[in-house]
Amino acid sequence: MRKVQLGKTREQIPVLGQGTMGIKSGKDKEYYEKWKASLRRGIELGMTHIDTAELYNFGASERTIGEVIKEYGRDDVFITSKLFPRHLGYNSMLKACNKSLERLDTKYLDLYLVHFPSLGFSKIKKHMRVMEQLLNEGKIRYIGVSNYSIDQFKEAQECLKKAEIVTNQLRANIMKQKHIHNSLPYYKKEGIILTAYSPLGHRGYTNLKEDIKSKLEQVAKSHNATIQQITLAWLINHENVIAIPKAFQINHIKDNAAAANINLTETEIKQFYTE
């Protein structure tokens, strides 16, 4: 699995990780065993970056991941989770991180994000104060944000005394290109990683319009790949972009991992530009 540098750190992170937003709560044992089998296979294929959040189905995602990662050396996986901004108080934000650590059954998070920005500089400042404290306490290794505009990102960075924000996690895919065109140039200039969530949309591109589908099929044929693999490759062939597709089936995990080896030409990338 190809890796890239995480922001200005010395950390190397896979260009493709594993998203887990779909893990539901209250399901039977067979359901969770399928998820865990998929996560294990992804780790074995090099997708060692696993993304989760306290918001995802009332902690079901974090608990399931926690059961899987204990089977590996802690240094062999890179775990990202997210703070939900409904925790408005200083103590409640600290408690939220501790709860995530408890559900994941780990002593630290590799990367902790503020899931959504709160309006107002004072609230951003409060979030960053907590994040930097967690960093200093060793409960998190790196700080990130999610769904922030460039201006909000800049404000958040200004609020940190010593630490630097290493990523902004944004919805980006071949059909939602706004952040690739409008945000990525700034992050590339600043040496920041853009983490693309929902890189395959919500239906895995099974309902594409004929024109885009035809283009994807042509490129996929030339690379002996599926159109889903081409859409993932299209994202991660952009500098400073990593992606976190989710997959419930082993065969989809294998396909996702293989997409990291597809090198698209500049012409192939640009023919899909829509914005």
The domain 3-202+239-261: what is its CATH number?
3.20.20.100
Asked if residue 175 has pLDDT above 90, the reply is yes
Asked if residue 248 has pLDDT above 70, the reply is yes
pTM (2 d.p.) = 0.96
**DSSP label of 118:** P
Amino acid at 252: H
Looking at the chain, the whole-number percentage of residues with pLDDT higher than 90 is 85
Given this model, what pLDDT does residue 58 score? 86
Given this model, what pLDDT does residue 139 score? 98
Angle between helices 250-259 and 227-236 (to 10 degrees): 40
Show me where the domains of the chain are located: 3-202+239-261
**DSSP label of 44:** H
Chain segment 160-174, per-residue pLDDT in tens = 999 999 999 999 999
Given this model, what pLDDT does residue 122 score? 81
- Listed range (234-238, 259-263, 271-275) with the worst mean pLDDT: 271-275
Name the strand (E) or helix (H) holding 213. Answer: helix 210-222
> Which of 31, 32, 56, 108 is an active site residue?
56
The alpha carbon dihedral of 157, 176, 262, 271 has a sign of negative
Given this model, what pLDDT does residue 201 score? 87
Given this model, what pLDDT does residue 204 score? 76
- Listed range (26-30, 107-111, 182-186, 219-223) with the worst mean pLDDT: 26-30
Chain segment 73-111, per-residue pLDDT in tens = 999 999 999 998 787 688 999 999 999 999 999 999 999
Given this model, what pLDDT does residue 209 score? 82
Asked if residue 134 has pLDDT above 90, the reply is yes
**Scanning the structure block, which residue is given the tokens 């925790």?**
87
Q: 113 by DSSP, 3-state: which?
A: strand
Chain segment 200-216, per-residue pLDDT in tens = 987 778 778 888 899 99
Q: Is 56 known to be catalytic?
A: yes
113 strand-pairing partners? 82, 144
